[in-house]
Chain A
Amino acid sequence: MSSKAVRSLLIVDDDPGDALIAKHYLEKSGRYEHVLTASDGREALQLWENHETSRQEHGGAFPPLIVLLDINMPRMNGFEFLEALAELPQPEVTASFVVMVTSSEHGPDVERASIFPRVKDYLVKPFTLQHAIDLADRFGS
């Protein structure tokens, strides 16, 4: 049985409840060394904009291998974050796979997400233990 591990994952979600649920299962799966959180797109983007500080603060946790990105967020939503991220110099960001997180399977969001090459998949809330295991199997090493 494989047990691939993920060194680091970032949750970007404005709903503290949803972030709490994801964090709970990621930790419970035992496959994630570090779980970071940001409360919206802007806060997440700042991690990349100040990547040297982020590296110092979070050590090996930055840059994260996976970003769990909520779509509907105030200040800067998921798409705006992806657009802003694409504008940044490449070396700091290439490592991350983005998985969009949505509340609805059939929203217009999923279609729109598919145009961003960094977006590898999407999942529908609520986050479960199975999600945590599947993501580690797919992207971990």
Chain B
Amino acid sequence: MTSMETLTRQSTDERQKPIERDAEWYSSVLNAMTDMVLVKGDRSKLLWANRAFLEYYGMTNEELADLVDAPHSDPDDTVQYVKDDHHVFSTGKTLNVVSEPVTDSAGRVGYFNTLKSAILGADGRVQRTVGVSRRIEDASVASRSEETRSHQKSSLQALRALVRHVPLALAMLDVKQRFLSRSDTWLSLFGGAGEPDSDDFYESRPNGLPALEHALEEVARERRPCTLEAVGLQGADGESLVVDIEIHPWLLPTEEVGGTIVLMHDITERVRSERALTRLNDELTQFNYRVSHDLVAPLRTIRGYLNIARDELSDDPELVRGLLGKMTERVDRLTSLVQDVLQLARSDVLEEERQPIELSDLVTEIMEARLEELEASGLEVQLELGAPVVMASRIRVQQVLENLVSNSIKYHDPERVNGEIRIFSRASAASVVLEVSDDGVGFDEELAEAVFDMFTRGSSDHPGSGLGLYLVQKHVHAMGGHVQVSSHRSPTTFRVELPRRNRP
């Protein structure tokens, strides 16, 4: 009889007396066993246990689902289980753990001989592992195991204590990128639990940063350290950090890679101050260049006029008179540039106590100083002072208003009759808002942010140093407030918001 015929006959027999081999059928087999059977997925997630295991653990399959281990287990034992699981998962080979400690629901530790094997999928790859554990009855073997375990436990604790107290942001991870231990500095930077007292400890991974995960994998695979420079991360309080990351492999006594050691060097402050310094330096370079150009160019022109005037004094006095007018104009412009530059220099070192400022007095003072220009422009001034008094540095507020008002005059629309400047103030619990608004020529919307930059001028048809609004912004920032363009044309409105209390 061929084997094919045997099969055919067997299946015929079964049809007559069918046995339903469904999940329940298999469970009943596994549940009848006195050995503990435990199935785990990737990353040591518990998937299913037989009755012997559930009774020992005092848990149901539902309670075990998706845990790495029961909460009552000794965390260091769990670390060892995880390592063993990983070995089976990555090699596909069966592992014979001659004696392993397992804690029952009452906290008693028993010693078991466990065989861990891989369960393969249709593609031949490991999908799950199954462990079969049988209690070691030989008392002398169990007591030797207990000795070894307590020895390992104390060395692990010593290692963990060492890592915790290293005064660096240091973490020790297993090959599955789970934390084994972290230093206090690490915890204060990135948060997380210091002791392996919850399931979460094994599950927490470093920030879920793809570049870091990739580097950890590579270091463990290549057994070579690596460094990631200036990596942006999120800290424990959600603030942005910049770190240099050093990753080293660590080896087990068997020379296998046990995982990685990660060292984070927090360079946030350094990067921040470097950036600030670079920005400041750029600004200073530009400032120097522009100021020297803007100071020197008109002087050279004046020198040219003087040359002509000297040559032509007797031949063409009419030409010389015209040149004198031009020179006067240049000198006036230079004077105003020098004044702006001086104001700018003073604004950095100005330290003035906050004091109550009567806005209407201040505005009147500013307008009186500009009476001639104001009358020439035909502008009317409207005051709507909802907050008549402001607590601030008088010099700063004065220069802010002076610059804004003089822009309103300078850029008034000559075609418009009854043009106006509107000065408005309003107070809320936290801040005071000052607005200077006009119906002049305004500026293009693209300039709305650039107007506060150094040397940005609203129009080349109007004289100016391009420093006025830069100075306004500097003063407002120095007072802890902010300034913005709330409307660029028709009306053109600058809005200054100052805090009512001193900020630290």
Contacts and interface: CB of A to CB of B under 8 A. Distances in A.
A124 B308 CA distance: 17
Given A24-B308, A74-B460, A125 B301 contact: yes
Interface in B261-309: 289, 292-293, 296-297, 300-301, 303-305, 307-308
A43 interface: no
A18 B307 contact: no
Interface in A16-54: 17-18, 21, 24-25, 28
A74 B307 CA distance: 27
A3 interface: no
Contact of B301 (A21, A104, A124): A21
A107 interface: yes
A124 B293 CA distance: 12
Nearest to A74: B460
B289 A107 contact: yes
Given A74-B460, A107-B289, A21 B305 contact: yes
Contact of A18 (B292, B296, B304, B311): B304
Nearest to A75: B460
Contacts of A128: 304, 307
Contacts of A125: 297, 300-301, 303-304
Given A17-B326, A24-B308, A126 B301 contact: yes
Nearest to A106: B292
B187 to A, nearest CB: 51
Contacts of B460: 74
B330 A126 contact: no
Interface in A104-127: 104, 107, 124-127
A128 B311 CA distance: 11
A15 interface: yes
Contacts of B297: 15, 72, 103, 125
Contacts of A28: 311
A15 B297 CA distance: 10
Given A17-B304, A18-B301, A107 B330 contact: no
A39 B250 CA distance: 72
Contact of A72 (B293, B308, B326, B330): B293
A74 B462 CA distance: 13
A129 B300 CA distance: 15
Nearest to B329: A17
Interface string A81-123: 0000000000000000000000110010000000000000000
Contact of B296 (A15, A74, A104, A127): A104
A28 B326 CA distance: 20
Contacts of B311: 28, 129
The size class of the interface chain B forms with chain A is 10 to 19
B296 A103 contact: yes
Nearest to A40: B460
Interface in B295-342: 296-297, 300-301, 303-305, 307-308, 311, 326, 330
A37 to B, nearest CB: 15
A59 B346 CA distance: 56
B326 A103 contact: no
A126 B311 CA distance: 14
Contacts of A25: 308
Interface string A66-77: 000000101000
Nearest to B296: A103
Contacts of A126: 300-301, 303-305, 307
A136 B300 CA distance: 23
B307 A17 contact: no
Nearest to B308: A24
Contacts of A17: 301, 304-305, 326, 330
Contacts of A103: 293, 296-297, 300
Contacts of B301: 15, 17-18, 21, 125-126
Interface in B140-190: none
A18 B301 CA distance: 6
A25 B303 CA distance: 14
Given A18-B301, A74-B460, A126-B300, A104 B308 contact: no
Contacts of B307: 21, 126, 128
B285 to A, nearest CB: 10
Contacts of A129: 311
Contacts of A104: 292-293, 296
A15 B326 CA distance: 12
A103 B298 CA distance: 9
Contacts of B305: 17, 21, 126
Interface string B180-216: 0000000000000000000000000000000000000
A127 B326 CA distance: 17
A21 B304 contact: yes
Given A17-B326, A17-B330, A107 B304 contact: no
Nearest to B295: A103
Contacts of B326: 17
19 contacts: A15-B301, A17-B301, A17-B326, A17-B330, A18-B301, A21-B301, A28-B311, A74-B460, A103-B293, A104-B292, A104-B296, A107-B289, A107-B293, A124-B300, A125-B300, A125-B303, A126-B307, A127-B304, A129-B311
Given A104-B292, A126-B305, A127-B304, 4 more contacts: A17-B301, A21-B308, A125-B300, A126-B304
Interface of A: 15, 17-18, 21, 24-25, 28, 72, 74, 103-104, 107, 124-129
User: Sorted from nearest, which 8 A-B pairs have the closest CB atoms?
Assistant: A126-B304, A21-B304, A103-B297, A125-B300, A17-B301, A126-B303, A74-B460, A126-B300
